Amino acid sequence: MGSNLGRDQRTYLLAGILLLALAGCQTTSPTTGTSGVSYGDAKAVETVTTDLGSTDIQMISEKMTQGLIQTPEIQTLIKKRQLLMASPVKNKTSEYFDTRMITDTILTQLQKNGVKYVIEGEDMQNQTDELMRQNQSGLYSKSKTVKMGKMQGAKYRLDGSISSIVKKTSDLKDVYYKMNLRLIEIETGIVEWSDEKEIRKSARR
């Protein structure tokens, strides 16, 4: 009897050790996957190629936002709750990239300072579609639908372009980017503010 109990105890002990060993194999890192993918710093200086990159977009947006909030027009716009809009920035470079990344960032940063802006372009289609759906589809309760004809127009708009000059030799590539942004009073067409950001990138080949 005593020898049987001893065997049971040994079995329990072995199971306990095995459980502890398995627990020790568990990792406390909240990650999954073994593909070698890792996260980096989104604010790091990106120098992978001379093409327009994240650092360029961030530096351009930052400079333009800092310039805009210093203008009396934007400070008055915030006080009087007037509206701003951004026309699409023209991409005059030889590269493809979505220029809305720049204007979207500028508008977001301005909004954090109290600037109100209205949508345009692609977003406008979604806006009118929703207005039509609520008012003309017959699907919605009359008391719970938003009214047509209440949208508000902007007093100022942002407009700009980005251009580049590319120079290449057998061992060097040099790219010069220039982004220009203007604040225009829509009613009069007067350019109230403008600024530029220049960037030079070079790579040995």
Partner 1 sequence: MQVLFGAPKPIYLAVCLLALAPMVASGANPAGVPVNHGYATLTQDGSDAIAISDLRATRQDRLLRVQAELNNASSTNRQVYYRFEWMDQQGLAVWDDEPWKPLIVYGHNKQTISVSSPSFKATSFRLVVQNPN
Task: Write out the residues near partner 1 by the rule CB under 8 A.
Answer: 43-45, 54-55, 58-59, 62, 65-67, 69-70, 75, 109, 112-114
Nearer to partner 1, 63 or 186 (CB): 63
- Tokens representing residue 147 in the block: 């009214």
Nearer to partner 1, 69 or 186 (CB): 69
Question: Shortest distance, CB of residue 18 to partner 1, whole angstroms?
Answer: 46
- In order of 5, 90, 97, 130, 159, the CA distances from 93 in angstroms are 83, 9, 9, 35, 16
For the purposes of burial, counting CB atoms within 10 Å of the CB of 189, is it exposed (0-12), middle (13-18) or buried (19 or more)?
A: exposed
Question: Shortest distance, CB of residue 113 to partner 1, whole angstroms?
Answer: 6
Nearer to partner 1, 58 or 91 (CB): 58
Question: Shortest distance, CB of residue 43 to partner 1, whole angstroms?
Answer: 4
Which three-class secondary structure state does DSSP give residue 73? helix
Nearer to partner 1, 21 or 44 (CB): 44
Question: Shortest distance, CB of residue 200 to partner 1, whole angstroms?
Answer: 10
- CB atoms closer than 10 angstroms to residue 182: 16
- In order of 86, 121, 197, the CA distances from 102 in angstroms are 10, 15, 12
Q: Which of 190, 182, 27 is nearest to 103 (CA)?
A: 182
Judge contact between 200 and 174, C-beta under 8 A.
Answer: yes
Nearer to partner 1, 92 or 200 (CB): 200
Question: Shortest distance, CB of residue 55 to partner 1, whole angstroms?
Answer: 6
Provide the 8-state DSSP code for 144: G
Question: Shortest distance, CB of residue 170 to partner 1, whole angstroms?
Answer: 24
Nearer to partner 1, 43 or 144 (CB): 43
